[in-house]
Amino acid sequence: YIPTDTDNYNHLTGSITPYVVSYSGGGSSSNTTTKTEKNPDGSTTTTVTDKTTGTVTETTKNTDGSTTVVETKKDGTVTETNKSADGTTGTVVTDKNGDVTEVKSSMSSAAVTEAAETGDAVTLPVEVPAAKTTGDAPAVEVTVPKSTGEVKVEIPVEKVTPGTVAVIVHADGTEEIVSTSISTETGVVLTLDGSATVKIVDNAKTFVDIHPVNHWAKNAVDFVVARGMFAGTSETTFSPNSYMTRAMLMTVLARLDGVDTSGGSVWYEKGMEWAKANGVSDGSNPDAPITREQLATMLWRYAGSPESSHSLDGYTDADEISGYALEAMRWANENGIINGYGNGLLGVKDNATRAQVAQMLMNFVKCLSQ
């Protein structure tokens, strides 16, 4: 190389200012090789191969500011770390068989702040499978910034179904199904109050009177049973057309609120005590079938008796609604919790079947999560 007159060349001293030339296509050293490529989507991937250990590390910088680092070791172990543009990170480790062995994610303060402002969930940059049992499910360690209060989180899940549910693993090793966790098209949403360890499980049960016949309430039945709100009438049947009693619904809502309803002189005693103490029901006629307007009223009271001026004029039996249930029915219909039969009727005085209650409860839990 011969410097020109425009170079920073000192003819008097014979010194030359050094120039550094970079090559983005690749490089190597005695122990590693490096190659950088530009992808069709505009991202760039740098691959570093350690010739001594056999470890290959691919770092992809995406156009949205996020990065993905995939480290593949010689023994087949793969560690994938994703960092979102907002600073939230997630790491998934799989063994040589492709089984997930470790999952960690840390939410950034920026992500939590934005979620609080928009009401959306912070989507973790990881994806996990839904196992059939908690023993087979990988633990997801979720770190939340301190002093942030409650934050809504979405954990992406492979092949999510209505029966996919989140399970909290407490410090003492005990596990608790999050009955208010919601299945989305891409994962499970739950609300956390601080850092937690979470497992994702497909907890649906198979009933001969629901699944083989492809019952209209199949998704709702999977949803409520997986979350422990109520169970089948036997190991193999759900009895979708049987009526739900007032005692049953009191017990279901108590469980949704985290109450242990076991024990008592009668099976529904704990649920009824909770319902009376919290103003959800007066506890009368526990063995009587619950009507659709009574169901709406209990759900409305559980939600805090929100105001609603929603019109029910499109239903021909709206004038049959009892005075105590009018605002509750307005609210329930406005939020898609209780809909009509499709023939212009709400069926307000009809007894609610187990299938109908399952559908309404799923709609209700989704409404609460909004």
Q: Where are the alpha helices (DSSP H) in the chain?
A: 109-118, 218-226, 246-256, 269-277, 292-302, 326-334, 354-369
Q: How far, CA to CA in Å, does 244 sit from each of 271, 278, 290, 295?
A: 15, 21, 6, 10
Q: At what angle do helices 218-226 and 354-369 cross, to 10 degrees?
A: 70
Residue 144 has pLDDT above 50, yes or no: yes
One-character DSSP codes across 259-318: -----SSSTTHHHHHHHHHTTS-----TTSBPBHHHHHHHHHHHTT--------TTSTTG
Residue 147 confidence class, pLDDT cut points 50, 70, 90:
confident
Chain centroid, CA 331 distance in Å: 25
DSSP letter at 319? G
What is the tens place of the pLDDT at every residue in 271-311?
A: 999 999 999 999 999 999 999 999 999 999 999 999 999 99
Give the pLDDT mean for 199-216: 96
Give the pLDDT mean for 103-111: 96
- Separation of alpha carbons 139 and 101, rounded Å: 8
What is the tens place of the pLDDT at every residue in 187-204?
A: 999 999 999 999 999 999
Confidence (pLDDT) at 369:
85
Q: How far, CA to CA in Å, does 357 sit from each of 42, 127, 169, 193?
A: 50, 32, 29, 29
Closest CA to 289 of 321, 329, 242, 323: 242
pTM here?
A: 0.85
Residue 19 confidence class, pLDDT cut points 50, 70, 90:
very low
Give the pLDDT mean for 355-369: 95
What is the tens place of the pLDDT at every residue in 214-266?
A: 999 999 999 999 999 989 999 999 999 999 999 999 999 999 998 999 999 99
Q: What percent of the chain has pLDDT over 70?
A: 92
Residue 348 confidence class, pLDDT cut points 50, 70, 90:
very high
- Separation of alpha carbons 337 and 350, rounded Å: 16
Q: Are 143 and 105 in contact (CB under 8 A)?
A: yes
Residue 18 has pLDDT above 80, yes or no: no
Strand 32-38 to strand 44-50: parallel, antiparallel, or no bridges (unpaired)?
Answer: antiparallel
Confidence (pLDDT) at 149:
86
Strand 140-143 to strand 100-106: parallel, antiparallel, or no bridges (unpaired)?
Answer: parallel
